[in-house]
């Protein structure tokens, strides 16, 4: 059996067309699919607090979001130093009950605790979280996605927990300065009226 050059060119062109279609589909999916992750971060407005953030970092809305954790999570595990009592287990909330819908870039923030309380409950091991969800408004039955996250409290052992809420501090200082200026103004007015 003899294969001409034109047959080879046809096969080559078919491969290019197939590869192009696959790349186009991958780009389309990456620009329309949701991606839900969960991570811990320090609370910028409340020194020493650690928060859990559920966020859709994808380009499309997600719905019917559920979470599977490698072990139960603590709730409100407070204490800068490790407390004597073990914090309670999280039994309700979005991680346990799921989230019906998350728009692109939407976040849900949960006050999780402080380093000592979380360390007491979690120890030095990570907790793995798998999010399961589907793209909202999709008509395709196979359009279910998953993403994995890892919660590791030991990373916060040496993080800065100082109060960096500068806008609040500036506002408080401006209120104090305004009161002082009013007092000075009243004193000047009272001195001026007593001289008359």
pLDDT band of residue 161 (cuts 50, 70, 90) is low
| Residues 101-115, mean pLDDT to the nearest whole number | 96
CA distance 49 to 156: 11
Give 138's contacts (C-beta < 8 A, 6+ positions apart): none
Domain match, 20 and 116 both? no
Domain match, 172 and 144 both? no
Identify the pLDDT of residue 110: 97
| Backbone torsion region of residue 79, taken as left when φ is above 0, otherwise alpha when ψ lies between -120 and 50, otherwise beta | left
Domain match, 76 and 60 both? yes
Identify the pLDDT of residue 194: 67
| Residues 41-48, mean pLDDT to the nearest whole number | 88
Domain match, 39 and 133 both? yes
Domain match, 180 and 106 both? no
| Residues 177-196, mean pLDDT to the nearest whole number | 77
Domain match, 40 and 131 both? yes
Of 6-10, 92-96, 100-104, 110-114, which gets the smallest average pLDDT? 6-10
Mean of per-residue pLDDT scores for the chain: 85
Identify the pLDDT of residue 185: 78
CA distance 67 to 106: 17
Domain match, 117 and 75 both? yes
Identify the pLDDT of residue 114: 94
Domain match, 74 and 127 both? yes
- Residue 182: pLDDT above 90? no
Identify the pLDDT of residue 45: 84
- Residue 164: pLDDT above 60? no
Domain match, 62 and 111 both? yes
Alpha carbon 164 to chain centroid, angstroms: 19
What is the 3-state secondary structure of 11-68? HHHHHHHHHHHHHHHHHHHHHHCCCEEEEEEECCCCCCEEEEEEEECCCCCEEEEEEE
CA distance 66 to 99: 7
Digit-coded pLDDT (tens) for 74-93: 999 999 888 999 999 999 99
- Residue 10: pLDDT above 90? no
The answer to whether the predicted template modeling score (pTM) of the entire model surpasses 0.85 is: no
Identify the pLDDT of residue 30: 57
- Residue 4: pLDDT above 70? yes
Distances (CA, A) of 129 to 34, 64, 136, 176: 17, 16, 21, 47
Percent of the chain clearing pLDDT 90 (strictly above):
49
CATH of the domain at 66: 2.60.40
Domain match, 45 and 137 both? yes
- Residue 163: pLDDT above 70? no
Q: Which domain holds residue 63?
A: 34-164
- DSSP secondary-structure letter at 92? S
Q: Which comes out higher in pLDDT, residue 29 or 146? A: 146
Look at the chain and report how many structural domains it folds into: 3
Identify the pLDDT of residue 1: 56
Domain match, 40 and 119 both? yes
Domain match, 146 and 187 both? no
């Amino acid at each position: 059996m003899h294969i001409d050059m034109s047959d080879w060119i046809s096969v080559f062109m078919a491969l290019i067309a197939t590869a192009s279609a696959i790349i186009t589909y991958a780009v389309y999916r990456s620009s329309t699919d949701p991606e839900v992750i969960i991570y811990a971060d320090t609370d910028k407005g409340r020194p020493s607090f650690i928060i859990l953030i559920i966020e859709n970092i994808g380009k499309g809305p997600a719905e019917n979001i559920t979470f599977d954790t490698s072990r139960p999570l603590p709730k409100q595990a407070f204490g800068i130093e490790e407390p004597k009592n073990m914090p309670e287990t999280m039994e309700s909330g979005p991680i346990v009950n799921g989230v019906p819908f998350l728009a692109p870039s939407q976040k849900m923030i949960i006050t999780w605790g402080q380093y000592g309380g979380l360390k007491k409950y979690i120890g030095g091991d990570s907790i793995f979280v798998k999010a399961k969800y589907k793209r909202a408004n999709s008509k395709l039955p196979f359009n279910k996605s998953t993403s994995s996250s890892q919660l590791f409290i030991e990373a916060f052992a040496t993080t800065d927990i100082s109060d960096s809420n500068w806008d609040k501090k500036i506002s408080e200082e401006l209120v104090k300065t305004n009161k002082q200026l009013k007092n000075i103004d009243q004193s000047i007015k009272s001195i001026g009226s007593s001289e008359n």
